[in-house]
Copies of this chain bind each other. A is one copy, B any other.
Amino acid sequence: MLVSEHRRGPVRSEAARVAILEATARLFQTRGYDQLTMEGIAAEAHVGKQTIYRWWPSKGALVADCLLEGLLFREGFSPADTGDLRADLIAWLRGILAFVDREGGVSMVHSLIAAAGDHPSVGLRLSEGLGANQLLRARFESAVAAGQLSPDRPLDELGDAFVGAVVLRALSRTPTDAGTAVRLVDAVLGA
């Protein structure tokens, strides 16, 4: 006895889905989140507006999906493991800060923060994108194993502290200098 609940009619068009996400990513990167419009995306993707609204409730959800598909963050910021936690974290933070300071980096982060305001999962992905949380946590665990980090430190919160500080700088547009990464690591880890 089969019956298997079945829908009739055409199925979601993968071509349209991809075109929409790619158009969104393209426009997000070139114009930023605020300038991103549903109409612009529809035009760029050669798609009817209704096709967007059928599958995504909002601009934020669309950007969140782009993040999930990895269309916005090409680069991952994974901390190296040279055995020296402090050096590795400094290097990792410098990478992130360089990205943020780079042409378009600030506005990129700002756009993501704005998008996070509209859609919760963007915030989660933002942490992961910047901090590569899993990798960061792995690095911390390695440091704990090596005796460089007290096992008492809650590692997720430790990651949040670093990533949060970076986000806060971006929010307040505090300029970064050469020593910023070092100071931040020393502040949190102790010198």
- Set B116, B161, B166, B171: member contacting A188, Cβ < 8 A: B161
Most B CB atoms within 10 A — which of A155, A172, A173, A186? A172
Contacts of A180 in B (CB 8 A): 157
Among A162-191, those with CB < 8 Å from B are 162-169, 171-174, 180, 183-184, 186-188, 190-191
| Min CB gap A171→B, angstroms | 4
Copies in the complex: 4
Contacts of A95 in B (CB 8 A): none
Tell me if A81 counts as interface (CB < 8 A to partner B).
Answer: no
Contacts of A157 in B (CB 8 A): 165, 180, 183-184, 186-188
Residue pair A154, B186 in contact (C-beta under 8 Å): yes
Tell me if A29 counts as interface (CB < 8 A to partner B).
Answer: no
Known: A164-B166, A172-B120. A155 touches B113 (CB 8 A): no
Tell me if A160 counts as interface (CB < 8 A to partner B).
Answer: yes
- Set B110, B123, B124: member contacting A117, Cβ < 8 A: B110
Residue pair B152, A186 in contact (C-beta under 8 Å): yes
CA–CA, A188 and B150, complex, Å: 11
Residue pair A171, B126 in contact (C-beta under 8 Å): yes
- Set B156, B161, B190: member contacting A152, Cβ < 8 A: B190
Known: A154-B184, A167-B168; 12 extra A-B contacts, CB below 8 A, are A114-B117, A123-B171, A124-B172, A126-B171, A150-B190, A153-B186, A156-B183, A160-B168, A161-B164, A164-B166, A167-B167, A190-B190
